[in-house]
Amino acid sequence: MLFAASPPDRQGDHIRLYFAPEDAARGGHQVVSVSVHYDGSSNRLTSLGDLYRGVGPGWTAPAVFHPDGCILVWEPIPTSLFSAGSREGQPCRSTR
């Protein structure tokens, strides 16, 4: 599970993903969780599980680790992989 400060409809030409919701919340942004895994050895995102509609079982997207600690992705991530809450169903909020 990674986290973003951009909702799925505002991905633009790239999206930044973070390993912790606190990092994504810098600047007071609303955090959304993204059900993806970053494979650093192949520089790719893959979806977590196969429960998501509209995502093929082999879906991947190229991604790179940025020196500031985020993952940069230049291809759209399927909307069905975004969630406004954490795993427990509660909104992701910064604790800082």
Average pLDDT, the chain: 80
Q: Is 50 part of any domain?
A: yes
Q: Is 27 part of any domain?
A: yes
Q: State the residue range of the domain holding 14.
A: 2-83
pLDDT tier for residue 90 given thresholds of 50, 70 and 90? very low
Domain count, the chain: 1
Q: Is 12 part of any domain?
A: yes
Length of the chain measured in residues: 96
Across residues 86-91, what is the average pLDDT? 39
Q: Is 71 part of any domain?
A: yes
pLDDT digits (tens, 9 = 90+) for 52-74: 567 877 889 999 999 988 999 98
The larger pLDDT score, comparing residue 12 to residue 2, is at 2
- In a 13 Å sphere around the CA of 96, the CA atoms on its Cβ side amount to 10
Q: Is 26 part of any domain?
A: yes
Rounded distance, CA 74 to CA 30, Å?
21
Q: Is 68 part of any domain?
A: yes
- pTM (2 decimals)? 0.78
